[in-house]
Structure 1
């Protein structure tokens, strides 16, 4: 294998594969990308080899990583970001190419938003970023224009601050359609989104709190206000931290144990009776049973180490979804053996149209946690209860928010 001389300082490099086959694929990808002429697409300069590693060399782009930027509270600035990325994707798609991993980590924001990392996601060894990848992409499908549009919709929601959340959800909904054929093209998004508000250039700030960022890296940053995995030395059930003592208790295998419950009692804790208010439309599946099923599915996904399944249980762009996306990465650092969940009762607190709030109780079995550093912890059985805010996606109930059951 041949070596290269040290790379120039005006270049950014990323290892995208290993071996001759990967080099051929990467070179073909760069050759195809060279036909794309758009300032929002960072086309790689070259593919080189460092021993067996295949390295993509790209020009350095001035700008802040979207993953580290604060969320956008101004509608015009949000439109500027979404429209700019849609235009860049449209330029790619017009050449028959797809990005394959449109996510905050692959966007730089400077004079305009710029897509980076255009080689690795297209070579077949990646499935996109959990929480942003389209369902078909997360399931192992190839990169596609429709998949990029879905990821753009998820990114758009993640970038929106609460002040513009209603508008962002309305405009992103068609992009997140589970049917790839029903999603608009990137070009249509670029043309249509400007009807929402006049684009205004956004100059992002890096927030002091990770929770204020578009997509903080859960492996290196801890969100002090979220139910975050603590996959380290201390033996906590499912390794989750509750930072906001008054409000933050996650659910099921969706979160931390409730302190003070007697784990020796095999029964599930009683959920306080709360009067139900307007019922969900009778045409929708039973929401109480859906909450119980989601609790079982959550535990199964964690036990299997399946981060993508974890994310699919949540509403795209919601608090639960953002946390699940971070957890999906952390699942790579630990293994839970023998984890089972016994779901008890579920009580509907409120239900209106396609939204509902349900209290659910369950018991987690004793199990063993194995960390990446080789440490082992015996976790005793634990009873938990949580309140789930659910939303109907059109095909199933999903979790939008989790809090402690009163």
Structure 2
């Protein structure tokens, strides 16, 4: 056996196994990692032997271990953290690799989130960190992209301050699905999470008490508001020869703003509200027209992420868009178009508004994944949209049918 000279101070070492077999596996792993080239991954520079121990030598990364950081209290900071980890995982997964132990102890928070410990979890001797490992991983299964996504969801919830916990639970619920096949890809998470809030670099502070630290036993819950990330994992399937079927076939209402929801304007008898005085915000009436067009375009193109991005995260419109977006996966809408007519502002106050929109949907056909085709005639519809100003643009918070 050979020994190595002491390592330089700008290197971090980690014993990843023992013996010749472990050394061969570790060297192969490092070689595979070296071609990924993502700044969110701390790739070892070398593998050496110290007596029988196999040791990886990695560059020292400036940052605070997430396990020692306080929880992100700002939604933008939390999104920044989740997006950064998801981007790094997506780079790994695109090269056919998985991390195997995404946990607070393996995330450094500095100029960006950085994943460390990229070798040992992949060599077959670990099962991940309890409380963060996916069920199939904790049971002894190998590292997998789906397992990494589950662990990301658990890490993200553990890093969420109570002030943003409700939103975090809604967005992370799909990642924590017990069925690996139902979880989104890391790339879909990285692309979609920015619709929750604009990412803002999080600069963690030392936790003031145990309740503020990222606890390894953080529990997760499901939330029906969570939208479905894996909307675009598979391309739309085009039917080679579609046959017309009766309209009674599992019909899905493609009315632009979905089923009627709770009323968002004063009850009958109160009379229509007078529009508020003009403000510095963009005209909500024109915004409602543009949102209607954008929604139809998203549905026609099968773009579930764009569909959900038009709504206020956590709102009833958001939940409806999420359900509709899931139905788009594998479905094609041929000939769908919209002509928006009137847009009447009923209420406008500060950053909220209620707008009544009238529009006409063109005749179109819905073709399912199995090739079944349903012809949908042209239709005139009206809806009342409750809008909220996000700080950058108007989004839909709630929808009701016009009386």
The answer for the alignment partner of 2:120 in structure 1 is 120
The answer for the alignment partner of 1:99 in structure 2 is 99
Question: How far apart are residue 208 of structure 1 and its match?
Answer: 2.9
Q: Is the 8 A contact 2:108 2:115 kept in 1?
A: yes
Cα distance in 2 for partners of 1:317, 1:167 equals 12
Equivalent runs, 1:56-75 vs 2, <5 Å: 56-75=56-75
Q: Is the 8 A contact 2:169 2:220 kept in 1?
A: no
Q: Unaligned stretches of 5+ in structure 1? A: 217-310, 319-406
Q: Is the 8 A contact 2:85 2:115 kept in 1?
A: yes
Cα distance in 2 for partners of 1:161, 1:132 equals 17
Cα distance in 1 for partners of 2:78, 2:113 equals 11
Question: How far apart are residue 35 of structure 1 and its match?
Answer: 0.7
Q: How far does the alpha carbon of each residue in 1:22-74 deviate from its partner, in whole angstroms, 9 at most, with x for none?
A: 00000000000001111000111000000000001100000011000001111
The answer for the alignment partner of 1:175 in structure 2 is 175
Question: How far apart are residue 120 of structure 1 and its match?
Answer: 0.5
Query: CA 1:99–1:317 in 2, change beyond 3 Å: closer, same or farther?
Result: farther
> Secondary structure of 2:114's partner?
strand
Question: How far apart are residue 118 of structure 1 and its match?
Answer: 0.2
> Secondary structure of 2:102's partner?
coil
The answer for the alignment partner of 1:191 in structure 2 is 191
Q: Is the 8 A contact 1:158 1:317 kept in 2?
A: no
Equivalent runs, 1:5-404 vs 2, <5 Å: 5-215=5-215, 315-316=219-220
Q: Is the 8 A contact 2:134 2:150 kept in 1?
A: yes
> Secondary structure of 2:16's partner?
strand
Question: How far apart are residue 215 of structure 1 and its match?
Answer: 3.0
Q: Unaligned stretches of 5+ in structure 2? A: 223-403
Q: Is the 8 A contact 1:157 1:172 kept in 2?
A: yes
**Equivalent residue pairs, number:** 222
Q: Is the 8 A contact 2:106 2:117 kept in 1?
A: yes
The answer for the alignment partner of 2:338 in structure 1 is none
Cα distance in 1 for partners of 2:206, 2:134 equals 27
Cα distance in 2 for partners of 1:69, 1:82 equals 15
Cα distance in 2 for partners of 1:63, 1:22 equals 29
Cα distance in 2 for partners of 1:12, 1:144 equals 26
Cα distance in 1 for partners of 2:78, 2:17 equals 35
> Secondary structure of 1:13's partner?
strand
Q: How far does the alpha carbon of each residue in 1:66-92 deviate from its partner, in whole angstroms, 9 at most, with x for none?
A: 000001111000000000000000000
Query: CA 1:317–1:21 in 2, change beyond 3 Å: closer, same or farther?
Result: farther
Question: How far apart are residue 317 of structure 1 and its match?
Answer: 6.7
Question: How far apart are residue 150 of structure 1 and its match?
Answer: 0.1
Cα distance in 2 for partners of 1:62, 1:91 equals 21
Question: How far apart are residue 315 of structure 1 and its match?
Answer: 4.4
The answer for the alignment partner of 2:360 in structure 1 is none
Q: Is the 8 A contact 1:157 1:317 kept in 2?
A: no
Cα distance in 2 for partners of 1:213, 1:50 equals 35
Q: How far does the alpha carbon of each residue in 1:134-165 deviate from its partner, in whole angstroms, 9 at most, with x for none?
A: 00000000000000000000000000011001
Larger radius of gyration: 2
> Secondary structure of 1:61's partner?
coil
Cα distance in 1 for partners of 2:219, 2:122 equals 27
> Secondary structure of 1:62's partner?
coil
Q: How far does the alpha carbon of each residue in 1:324-381 deviate from its partner, in whole angstroms, 9 at most, with x for none?
A: xxxxxxxxxxxxxxxxxxxxxxxxxxxxxxxxxxxxxxxxxxxxxxxxxxxxxxxxxx
